[in-house]
Structure 1
Amino acid sequence: MQGSFAPGALNGLKVLDLTRVLAGPTCTQMLGDLGAEVIKIERPGAGDDTRGFAPPYVPKTTESAYFVGVNRNKKSVTLDIAKPEGQAIVHRLLAECDILVENFKVGALAKYGLGWDELKDKYPRLIYCSITGFGQTGPYAPRPGYDALIQAMGGVMSLTGEIDGEPQKVGVPVADLFAGLYGCIGVLAAVNHRNATGQGQRIDIGMLDTHVAWLANQGMNYLATGENPPRLGNQHPNIVPYQVFPSQDGYIVLSVGNDPTFERFCRLVGREELLRDERFATNAKRVENRQLVTDTLTPVMRTRSTKEWVAALEAAKIGCGPINTLKDVFEDPHVRAREVIVEMEHASGETVQVIANPVRLSATPPSYRSAAPVLGQHTEEVLGRLGLSAEEVARLRESGIA
């Protein structure tokens, strides 16, 4: 799938991006994909921390794969906001921007005159989104937030891992990603509010808040019982069998979501007698007798290969799937058909591959206008729009401000 350039839902909106690493950049990349112009402010000479999160690098470039994956559709402007002249330029940018997204520690931007309290009266239409580890209030507010730390404190690590093993974090930085996505949702709601009232507002996203929010059924299981849910490995806390089973040549996920599906499964595998056993007859009983169900079905599942099971179970409309490596994922015919890989031209002259935005809009789909920028790639362009001459930009560069 090549980069597309259809009109975006957020065309005309301008975002000042004061974020780095993952949570904030996830939010601003989503806004950029939906058509907003995103101006990313980076430290002169260093840039976003993730420029250095390598290897791996994108092939034939000096750009980290991490940075390229979360910074498309953005313009990179180098600017030292700790210096008064840099702050003055930020104010000039804010005069024409709709949204500011930042993920500095609580109170850090106020030192530069760029906090919400310093800006809200001067720019009453400004939507100001802050993404931090613990939010703007509460006893933990001053603490820095890191993905693994939030996964630990937010409870998901206590739920993840083998029954008798140690707590495990999820294999991708979900705490960062969810915070960025919730931040984007907040921004979109604030845009709608501003369209109706003309007023901007503050959005306060705490990674711990968002992490607790997506504990979902497990969080509700605790609230309903007052008991900490145990780690179950690859098993489901409320549905059985819904787990990984060994096959003849590997593993398979079996997802039996209800009693009629379990009945079809038993008939498929020739174990109809289980339907007459009250320990297997209903999902509630199967949850009570989880180990018995697992021990009974494991030898059954070992009788066929994963491929054979997938074919048979899918034909019977029983949820199942292989456990794919990332190579398997990106070569999967359905994933290919959905065009989840996008090729974009990079400033290095190379073509880079990125993962597509999953939001499919019929009238205003995401667009892929520009690959992640090299450091300071758009400084002259953006500052020139503010009326700064090439000589003035050169002076700012020489002084370390840009």
Structure 2
Amino acid sequence: MDNDQGPTGPLAGIRVVDLTHIAAGPFATMLLADLGADVIKVERPGGGDGARQMDVSIHGDGDSGYYLGLNKNKRSIVLDLRAAQDVEVVRRLAATADVFIENFRPGSAERMGLGYADIRKVRKDIVYCSITGFGPSGHLRDGIAYDIVGQAMSGIMSITGDADRPPAKCGAPISDLTSGIFAALGIVSALYHRQRTGEGQHVGTSLLGASVALVSSYITSQALGTPFDRLGSAHNTLAPYQAFAGSDGRYFILAAGNDGFFARTAQLLGRPDLVTDQRFATNADRSRHRAELAELLQRAFERRDTEHWLRALGEIGVPASPIYDIADVAREPQLYANGYLTTVEHQTAGPLPMVTTPLTFSATPVSVRRPPPRLDEHHHEILREAAGSLPLDTTCG
């Protein structure tokens, strides 16, 4: 199945040569593809992108859910970047492209003859993007970074989890995905610069840099004396702002992060005295006495089930939400109503829920035009396009 509906989205007409693999780079290029770009995914011989075999949801064609969730709207071609003739094909494709993106270790693309200087020879105004683990300079430049390394070194893990447990990582690969978002942002910014000036450039981001960006306010606040600890679902500077359980044992989130919300919650629970209690008079007071307050609130919430409290808190305008598992998320109608989730018919797996890029455009909407490609699915059509590019110097490197 190939349900490509033709150019659509604000990046329609933009071509991307994608040499990335696993998560960060593929997420970046999927965002670009959702926005209308034509993404040519270059994969290695054998198994292709390593993400194709990454989890237990393996289907008959060998593609994992991890891969499928990060690669819709792309075309796939297998090329051996150790072979001069295949490197030449990549260079020919680059001559027809607007964007070239890779996530090799620093120096690897240059050794293959596919570094920025090499690609610029065939497309002078190319926007070339590199995603690295730790950045292009410094003592860690050649290190290998996985998502958990980014979460650990950025400080994210130090503030995630319960106080009496070891540091925990976020369940989603936020370091990988955030670096992908920054890469996509850098690329579209460089494309805008090219439109104004005619000049391409080399864009870079890293797993560590993107992860540290997520704790921007924490780093500044810590320098001013704010302590940050592991508090489970609670917040370091807001209270009550955490999970509670109803009488049925189901957890929900209460986010009464200001005085007004707290007063309404106390009134709802029949505890207006909490508002005048000096331990809880202000948010700063409540944060200092977070554990005592949470214990009092939990006793009150145990009188009724979670559904009752979610409904009652909603009626008085206090932010609260259920805690969904992944299956719950895939059934949430709000996501479908806004186009954040859609269903794609995959060639072998059948109908699959897919997350779309959560942006709306009045004139150039985001779309899902292709299911995630099978390995090497578009080999011949991509080679035909490469053959039509300008003659290139066959000397690589």
> Counterpart of 1:182 in structure 2: which amino acid?
F
- Counterpart for residue 53 of structure 1: 54
> Counterpart of 1:240 in structure 2: which amino acid?
A
> Once the 2 structures are TM-superposed, how far is the Cα of residue 71 of structure 1 from its aligned partner?
0.8
In structure 2, the CA distance between the partners of 1:351 and 1:262, relative to structure 1 (3 Å rule), is closer
> Counterpart of 1:42 in structure 2: which amino acid?
E
Contact 1:3 1:342 in 2 (8 A): no
> Once the 2 structures are TM-superposed, how far is the Cα of residue 271 of structure 1 from its aligned partner?
1.1
> Once the 2 structures are TM-superposed, how far is the Cα of residue 152 of structure 1 from its aligned partner?
1.0
% of aligned pairs identical?
A: 36
* 1:106 partnered with 2:109: no
Partner SS for 2:359? coil
Contact 1:135 1:205 in 2 (8 A): yes
Q: Partners of 1:365 and 1:332 in 2: how far apart?
A: 22
Deviates more, 1:265-274 or 1:373-382: 265-274
* 1:13 partnered with 2:14: yes
Q: Give runs of aligned pairs for residues 213-228 of structure 1, distance below 5 A.
A: 213-225=213-225
Contact 1:274 1:280 in 2 (8 A): yes
* 1:62 partnered with 2:62: yes
> Once the 2 structures are TM-superposed, how far is the Cα of residue 5 of structure 1 from its aligned partner?
6.3
> Once the 2 structures are TM-superposed, how far is the Cα of residue 166 of structure 1 from its aligned partner?
0.5
- Counterpart for residue 395 of structure 1: none
Q: Give runs of aligned pairs for residues 1-400 of structure 1, distance below 5 A.
A: 7-58=8-59, 61-225=61-225, 229-249=228-248, 250-348=250-348, 350-387=350-387
Q: Could you give the per-residue CA deviations for residues 150-208 of structure 1, whole angstroms, max 9, x where no partner exists?
A: 11111111110101110000111111000000100000100000000000111111110
In structure 2, the CA distance between the partners of 1:160 and 1:71, relative to structure 1 (3 Å rule), is same
> Once the 2 structures are TM-superposed, how far is the Cα of residue 379 of structure 1 from its aligned partner?
0.9
> Counterpart of 2:316 in structure 1: which amino acid?
A
Q: Partners of 1:324 and 1:352 in 2: how far apart?
A: 19
> Once the 2 structures are TM-superposed, how far is the Cα of residue 348 of structure 1 from its aligned partner?
3.9
> Once the 2 structures are TM-superposed, how far is the Cα of residue 224 of structure 1 from its aligned partner?
1.8
> Once the 2 structures are TM-superposed, how far is the Cα of residue 49 of structure 1 from its aligned partner?
0.4
> Counterpart of 2:246 in structure 1: which amino acid?
S
Q: Partners of 1:256 and 1:3 in 2: how far apart?
A: 46
Contact 2:131 2:206 in 1 (8 A): yes
> Once the 2 structures are TM-superposed, how far is the Cα of residue 357 of structure 1 from its aligned partner?
2.2
Partner SS for 1:120? helix
In structure 2, the CA distance between the partners of 1:4 and 1:314, relative to structure 1 (3 Å rule), is farther
Q: Partners of 1:164 and 1:350 in 2: how far apart?
A: 44
> Once the 2 structures are TM-superposed, how far is the Cα of residue 285 of structure 1 from its aligned partner?
1.1
Deviates more, 1:284-293 or 1:340-349: 340-349
Q: Could you give the per-residue CA deviations for residues 101-127 of structure 1, whole angstroms, max 9, x where no partner exists?
A: 100011001111111233335532010
In structure 2, the CA distance between the partners of 1:285 and 1:54, relative to structure 1 (3 Å rule), is closer
Q: Which consecutive residues of structure 1, in runs of 5 or more, have no partner in the other structure?
A: 389-402
Q: Partners of 2:228 and 2:179 in 1: how far apart?
A: 24
Q: Partners of 2:342 and 2:284 in 1: how far apart?
A: 44
How many positions carry a matched residue from both structures?
Answer: 385
Q: Partners of 2:82 and 2:8 in 1: how far apart?
A: 36
Partner SS for 1:16? strand
In structure 2, the CA distance between the partners of 1:130 and 1:297, relative to structure 1 (3 Å rule), is same
> Counterpart of 1:211 in structure 2: which amino acid?
S
Q: Partners of 2:349 and 2:227 in 1: how far apart?
A: 53
> Once the 2 structures are TM-superposed, how far is the Cα of residue 57 of structure 1 from its aligned partner?
2.5
Per the normalisation by structure 1, the TM-score is: 0.91
Partner SS for 2:224? helix
Q: Partners of 1:4 and 1:316 in 2: how far apart?
A: 46
Q: Partners of 1:358 and 1:232 in 2: how far apart?
A: 30
> Counterpart of 2:238 in structure 1: which amino acid?
I
In structure 2, the CA distance between the partners of 1:124 and 1:228, relative to structure 1 (3 Å rule), is farther
> Once the 2 structures are TM-superposed, how far is the Cα of residue 6 of structure 1 from its aligned partner?
7.2
> Counterpart of 2:285 in structure 1: which amino acid?
K
> Counterpart of 1:353 in structure 2: which amino acid?
P
In structure 2, the CA distance between the partners of 1:6 and 1:115, relative to structure 1 (3 Å rule), is closer
Per the normalisation by structure 2, the TM-score is: 0.92
Q: Partners of 2:49 and 2:257 in 1: how far apart?
A: 44
